[in-house]
Amino acid sequence: MDAGPDIEERELIARALAGDRAAVSDVVRLLQDPIYRLALRMVWRPADAEDATQEILLRVVGNLESFRGEAKLTTWAYRIGVNYLLNLKRQTPQEAAQLSLDQYGEGLKDGLAEEDYRGPESTLLVHEVRLNCSQAMLQCLSRDERVAYVLSEVFGVSSEEAAWIVDATPAAYRKRLERAKKRLGNFLNAACGLANPEAFCRCSRRVDKALELGRVDPRRPAFARHPITPGGRGVEEAERQMVRLHDAAAVLGAHPDYAAPRARMEAIAGLLRSGRFPLLE
């Protein structure tokens, strides 16, 4: 496990528990982007991730009195978030009819163009296809495999911390993680030209099909122009890191440091002022 909250976190939580509204707002600001990125990797679509983030943050504030300092604040919030996300009602027809990685791979072969896309906004759309595709791959895992992979391989959480977050024994967690890594690694090595230059698929050859199917909207790209945390990685920097590493974990981890949308955070602030939380009375 991690060493628990540092002095600044303990003081912040103490002020929040004393009813200091500014401290509660600071807790939310500290957690909003990490929780949003977790939700986005679990539910795929930004709109669904926004909804999940709002509910998780409200649960964090509502349960803050139960915080015992057994982990850092972000780790503790991940535990609340993971519990919510693992039990979330399936949001979309795509998740309700969950694809296997084999089925997804066959879909990638369908409509793969002979040449790279050369149309308008080619760089933007290739980025969008890559980011959307890596999100879709994660949805082919079961939820418990997906959260294990995201926590350890994408967010770099230690196995001990991650096991605590998902409320599993370290041995059970490691087995779950290895299963997810093996499945995704085998798939990417066989299908993805970013992980293996000998594989068949190239993002630049999937753009036309993605546009035809409406999976990518050139007017409103969901990922390639998504706001990022101030000072965080943008699309180009994340991709450069991926190219240097050139493996499965790099492909799935090479997303920008997405920021939770400001409008939704303002909505959460309004809910915190609504009188719903005895902590703030």
Domain that holds residue 18: 7-280
Mean pLDDT of 214-229: 95
- 8 Å CB contact between 54 and 264: yes
Residue 118 lies in a domain: yes
**Band of the pLDDT at 93, cuts 50, 70, 90?**
low
**Band of the pLDDT at 277, cuts 50, 70, 90?**
low
pTM listed for this prediction? 0.92
Angle of helix 46-62 relative to helix 21-43, nearest 10 degrees, comes to: 140
**Band of the pLDDT at 92, cuts 50, 70, 90?**
low
- Structure-block tokens of residue 167: 């409320």
Residues pairing with 49 in the sheet: none
CA-wise closest residue to 136 among 110, 99, 102: 99
Residue 240 lies in a domain: yes
Residue 188 lies in a domain: yes
Provide the pLDDT for residue 30. 95
Mean pLDDT of 102-121: 93
CB count in 10 Å sphere of residue 65: 12
Where is average pLDDT lowest: 38-42, 158-162, 227-231, 249-253?
249-253
Residue 148 lies in a domain: yes
Q: For residues 105 and 112, what is the distance between their CA atoms, to the nearest angstrom?
A: 11
Number of structural domains the chain divides into: 1
Residue 186 lies in a domain: yes
Residue 1 lies in a domain: no
185 pLDDT higher than 70: yes
Mean pLDDT of 40-55: 95
Residue 2 lies in a domain: no
